[in-house]
Amino acid sequence: MIGIGTIVNAVGIILGTVVGILLKNGLPQRFKNIIMQSIGLAVFVVGLSGTLQGIYKVTINEALDRQYIMLMIISLVIGGILGELLDIEMKLEKIGNWFQNKFASKDNKFSEGFVTASLVYCIGAMAIVGSFEDGLARNPDTLFAKSILDGVLSVILAASYGIGVGLSAVPVFLYQGGLTLMSGMLEPILTDIVVTQMSLVGSVLIMAIGINILEIKKIKVGNLLPSMFIPVCYYTITIFV
């Protein structure tokens, strides 16, 4: 069944959030602080490793050579401008605030949890590649593996941010489901190079999320989301030019 991977992923996030909320009440603040610092470091390292993996390749002479750097820079700049014009970050926060008011939550981290979790779950190689594999090859295995990882991370995030983390299952469902459904139309241009470059930009954004969690500097990661799709636009243009 096409899309089953995304459905399981969303359910895993919700279940993990429930467990995290149950744990939240029994955790002193100092433990929540160290957990968030640990998450921030882990997310940053995951993003860094993905970025290095996408940038460097081993040549025939077993030396390291850089690749895709210019397109990555162009993607981040153009995508950032588009995201700033659309003000995606603010819209995500408004959605989180709407949910918070709807559920009459007094948790001041509700919106922050929703935005952070949504970005963490939607950005990255597994979300992109897994959705395309589910749509093109009817193979949801990557999204099943992602479901387990996201479920575990939901426990940790919900223990610090609360129920807002669980509502991130909605954008995950829409985002990954959309990629899965669109994969058929995009199949002619979804080469390994295009997917690799999308994942590379996604890894850079994951690093930015880690920086946000560590409170080093506030980066509007939401406004950088269009950057991930600039490689698709670029190669689409090259086909017709």
Which parts of the chain have pLDDT scores under 70? Answer: 26, 103-108, 241
The H-or-E segment that residue 12 falls in is helix 4-24
Q: Where are the domains of the chain?
A: 4-240
Q: What pLDDT does 59 receive?
A: 73
Query: By CB neighbour count within 10 A (0-12 exposed, 13-18 middle, 19+ buried), where does 18 fall?
Result: middle
Q: What pLDDT does 61 receive?
A: 74
Total-model pTM: 0.81
The answer to whether residues 150 and 175 touch, using CB atoms and an 8 Å cutoff, is: no
Residue whose C-alpha is closest to residue 209's, from 119, 146, 83: 119
Q: What pLDDT does 98 receive?
A: 81
Q: What pLDDT does 107 receive?
A: 63
